[in-house]
Amino acid sequence: MPDWDTMRTLLEGIPALPGARCRGQVALYDRTTGEDRAAGRGTTEELVTARREALRLCETCPALHPCREYLQALPIAHRPRGVVAGQVITSNGRPMRTGDVAAGRLVKQP
């Protein structure tokens, strides 16, 4: 059973982000985390395609700036994974270079 006090605290910190292009796109953004591929339910190509599509939505999003401020204010360990604020956030909580996504590379390059 969830700890509703903890959930309420977490949700209160999320900004409203009016006009956010990601609103209603949960399935797309969930596919950008890489969890499906890791579990054998998706391919690398599907992951790259989802990330590209999500990044394109972020690129023209009127809420990008406040979304990015929210993301940067979060402790690294608490950052969501996948495409957030126009970046691909990796499992270590840090952004991947977006050029890596465009080129189909899914690992952070040195």
Angle at 56 between CA 74 and CA 92, to 5 degrees: 35
Half-sphere exposure of 12 (CA within 13 A, CB side): 6
> Dihedral, CA atoms, 76, 92, 78, 28, nearest 10 degrees?
120
Distance, in Å, from the CA atom of 86 to the CA atom of 51, rounded to the nearest integer, reads: 10
Q: What is the pLDDT along the chain (110 residues), one digit of tens a residue?
A: 457 777 777 677 788 999 999 999 999 999 999 888 888 888 989 999 999 999 999 999 999 999 999 999 999 988 999 999 999 999 899 988 755 555 555 444 33
Distance, in Å, from the CA atom of 96 to the CA atom of 83, rounded to the nearest integer, reads: 10
What are the sequence ranges of the domains in the chain? 22-102
Tokens of 41: 């339910």
